[in-house]
Amino acid sequence: MSNVLLSVRGLSKNFGGLAAVQSVDMDLQEGVVTALAGPNGAGKTTIFNLMTGNLVASAGDVLLHGKSIIGKKPHRIAQMGIARSFQDLRLFTHMSVRDNVLVAVEPESWFWQPGGKAAWHKRLETVEKALERTGLSAMADKRAVDLSYAETKFLSLARILATGSKIWLLDEPASGLDLNSRNRFINILREATADGVTICLIEHNLDVMTQLADRIAFLDQGKKLAEDVPEKVLRDPELIAIYFGKSQSGN
Amino acid sequence: MINYILNLLTLATIYSIAAASLNVLVGYAGIFSIAHAIFFGLGAYAGAQFALLIVPDVLLASLIGAVVSGALSLLLALPALRVRGEYFVAAGLGLQMVGITIFSEAHSLTGGHGGLVGIPAATLFGFDVSSPGAFLIVCLVALLLSLAVIQILMRSSFGRALMSIRDNESAAESFGKNVPLLKTLAMVVGCAIVGVAGTLFAFNLAFINVESFTLEQSILMLAMVVIGGVGTLSGPLIGAVFLLILPAILTFIPFIPPTEIGTVQQFIYGSLMAVLMIFKPSGIAGKTGGK
């Protein structure tokens, strides 16, 4: 069995009377792409928010390399090597494309960064590589707010790419992309996994899911109903019925 | 007449420093402070007391003003940094009211409503720099230094980090940015610089009282930043000059009766601000375009 980098145990989150996540167990294994699937409101993004410290769990634990990270602030968890993207991208809209990525590789919040000039040049090199890989080099000086939709998606990915983190949590990263852009996007993610990156992604597009995911964890109403290889999960009539709605299950 | 113009330019320079410092908070860090006049006042009282009790050296007094204002920004602002958006504006209003009350009641430190009078003429390394021309040069040097500090910081990783939390706090956190620390540092930098402006203000008038640090003054500084252009280096300067020099120019227009100048000023300001916010909401020096 592969090395487990990140795992959740009995993870639960209640918002008042609503149980958004109910006792979920899951392991993210090194170099494996795990997709979180399920209808809207299944608790997928909430699980990401719990893993990254943006929400405090009502119960359960999140373990990074076997050590609990529950209660840690989001910026500390990011510094520990977990990078995430957001469904609504959350770019730094009034900053340039280059600065958007540069922010992601500057670890300190003080007046200076460690490592002097050598480290500065290395960071710049990392940024340029990430921009080149995502096809954004030509628009490095543009403001993020002036990019097209597809470009904003690639900028979101470039920031993650540049961090050098080995665990990526991607929330609908390829949604709304045209076929060409989507294929380019998928290729970048495949290359990352070949380099040892572990990805957990939330995705509604079945094409993307089947092309990328090694495993699918299926959730509904906060509960994990199944976790297996895509061929099995996507052929389970009960899960498909939940995913597409009961009325379509007979089709 | 010459002295009047020099004094006007000095005042515009001092307010340019204050507006540039507020721009660190509002324009770069996205901290919508509505209590900046309190920190302007802290610098003014601290610098004035130093001049009255120890030595009227404008450099040393400005440093004291900066340290006191910057340090007290920590004590006063840290609780406020726990809230965001409109709640922070409300907290800022509360801070402004508390500050004014303290300025009015702490007689031994501030002179209460009567203020501090007889602030000695400014010196620099033992030389008298209190003449209008010399003091304007001192203020211009202070402005240039302040702008240099702001420019260096805002072009560094610190500036990028501040702008990232301005644009999206949660995304900045997800890239390892310590948002409370960044906001605190921005407050200290912004308030230390406005402390220098406050000290210069005290020397310039030789008298300060609570009236100079009210909510109206905070709003005036905010208007300078917004009209000039948030998040730009030149914007606050343009805003300060615009809001301080224009009233003076209006007094020289012959066909406006002196008794009506206030009304004309208000009309012109109101119209210009409305036109500006409709056609160039990013301010005079702000970047155009974008969604």
pLDDT tens digits, B107-154: 999 999 999 999 999 999 999 999 999 999 999 999 999 999 999 999
As a whole number of angstroms, the distance between CA A146 and CA B56 comes to 52
The identity of residue B187, as a single letter, is: M
Residue B7 domain-assigned? yes
How many other C-beta atoms are found inside a 10 Å radius of the C-beta of residue B262? 11
In a domain, B35, yes or no: yes
pTM (2 d.p.): 0.90
Residues 162-191 of B with CB under 8 A from A: 163-164, 166-168, 170-179, 181-182, 185
Does B54 fall in a domain? yes
Cβ within 8 Å of residue B230, ≥6 positions away: B23, B26, B27, B282, B283, B286
More confident residue, B250 or B68: B68
Q: Which amino acid is at B202?
A: A
pLDDT of residue A245: 75
Q: CB-based contact (8 Å) between A232 and chain B?
A: no
Residue B281 above 90 pLDDT? no
- In this predicted structure, the answer to whether residue B88 has a pLDDT above a threshold of 90 is no
Whose tokens are 């092309």? That residue is: A211
**How close is the nearest chain B Cα to the Cα of A67, in Å?**
19
- CA nearest B150 in A: which residue? A111
Provide the residue type at A192 as one letter.
A
Mark yes or no for CB contact B160/A54 under 8 Å: no
Over residues A81-106, the mean pLDDT reads 96
Distance from CA of A192 to the nearest CA of B (A): 18
Cα distance between residue A165 and residue B270, in whole Å: 52
Which segment of A112-116, B176-180, B276-280 scores lowest on mean pLDDT? B276-280
Q: What pLDDT sits at residue A249?
A: 45
Distance from CA of B14 to the nearest CA of A (A): 26
**ipTM of this predicted complex?**
0.92
pLDDT at A6: 97
Q: Which residue of chain A has the CA closest to B185?
A: A110
- Give a yes or no: residue B246 inside a domain: no
Can you give the pLDDT at residue A139?
97
Residue A186 has pLDDT above 60, yes or no: yes
| B204: its two tokens | 């310039």
Burial of B278 (0-12, 13-18, 19+ CB in 10 A): exposed
* Residue B266 located in a structural domain: no
The beta-carbon neighbor of A103 closest among B153, B160, B179 is B160
Domain count, chain B: 1
Cα dihedral B35, B36, B39, B41, rounded to 10, equals -90
Q: Is A206 helix (H, G, I), strand (E, B) or coil?
A: helix
* Share above pLDDT 90 across residues of chain B, in percent, rounded to a whole number: 70
Helix ranges restricted to H, B206-260: 215-228, 235-250
In a domain, B158, yes or no: yes
Residue A18 pLDDT > 60, yes or no? yes
Does pLDDT of B290 surpass 70?
Answer: no
**What pLDDT is stored for residue B83 in this prediction?**
77
Interface test with A, best of B81, B174, B232 (most A CBs within 10 A): B174
Indicate if the pLDDT at residue B177 is higher than 80: yes
Write down the pLDDT at residue B291: 45
User: Per-residue pLDDT averaged across A142-146, rounded?
Assistant: 96
Domain contains B173:
yes
β A215-220/A33-37 pair status: parallel
Mean pLDDT, range A37-43, rounded to an integer: 92
B171/A92 Cβ within 8 A: yes
Q: Are strands A67-68 and A59-64 parallel, antiparallel or unpaired?
A: antiparallel
Give per-residue pLDDT as tens, B25-75: 999 999 988 999 999 999 999 999 999 999 999 999 999 999 999 999 987
Kindly give the pairing relationship between strand A215-220 and strand A18-29.
Answer: unpaired
pLDDT in the model for residue B66: 98
Specify the pLDDT at position B275.
85
In this complex, do A145 and B182 lie within 8 Å of one another by their Cβ atoms? no
Closest chain A residue to the Cα of B180, Cα to Cα: A109
Block residue for tokens 């405090």: A56
- Contact (CB<8Å) A113/B157: yes
CA distances to B36, B84, B222, B251, B285 from B73, rounded to whole Å, are 10, 17, 18, 38, 28
* Residue B105 belongs to some domain of the structure: yes
Is B161 in Cβ contact with A111 (below 8 Å)? no
Q: Which domain holds residue B86?
A: 2-212
> Does A109 reach chain B within 8 Å, measured CB to CB?
yes
Whether residue A107 lies within 8 A of chain B, CB to CB, comes out as yes
Decide if A162 touches B, using CB distance below 8 A.
Answer: no
What average pLDDT does this structure show over A210-239?
A: 92
B29 contacts in chain A (CB < 8 Å): none
Which domains can be identified in chain A, with CATH numbers?
A: 1-81+166-251 (3.40.50.300), 96-164 (no CATH)
CB A70, CB A62: distance < 8 Å: yes
Q: How far apart are CA A95 and CA A91, in angstroms?
A: 9
Using left for φ > 0, alpha for ψ between -120 and 50, and beta otherwise, residue A182 falls in alpha
Higher pLDDT, B259 or B186: B186
Q: Which string of DSSP letters, residue by residue, matches A178-234?
A: -HHHHHHHHHHHHHHHHTT-EEEEE---HHHHHHH-SEEEEEETTEEEEEE-HHHHT
| Closest residue, chain B, to A168 (C-alpha) | B174
| Model confidence pLDDT, tens digit, residues B200-227 | 999 999 999 999 999 999 999 999 998 8
Query: Which residues in chain A touch residue B179, judged by CB atoms under 8 angstroms apart?
Result: 75
Average pLDDT estimate for B239-247: 87
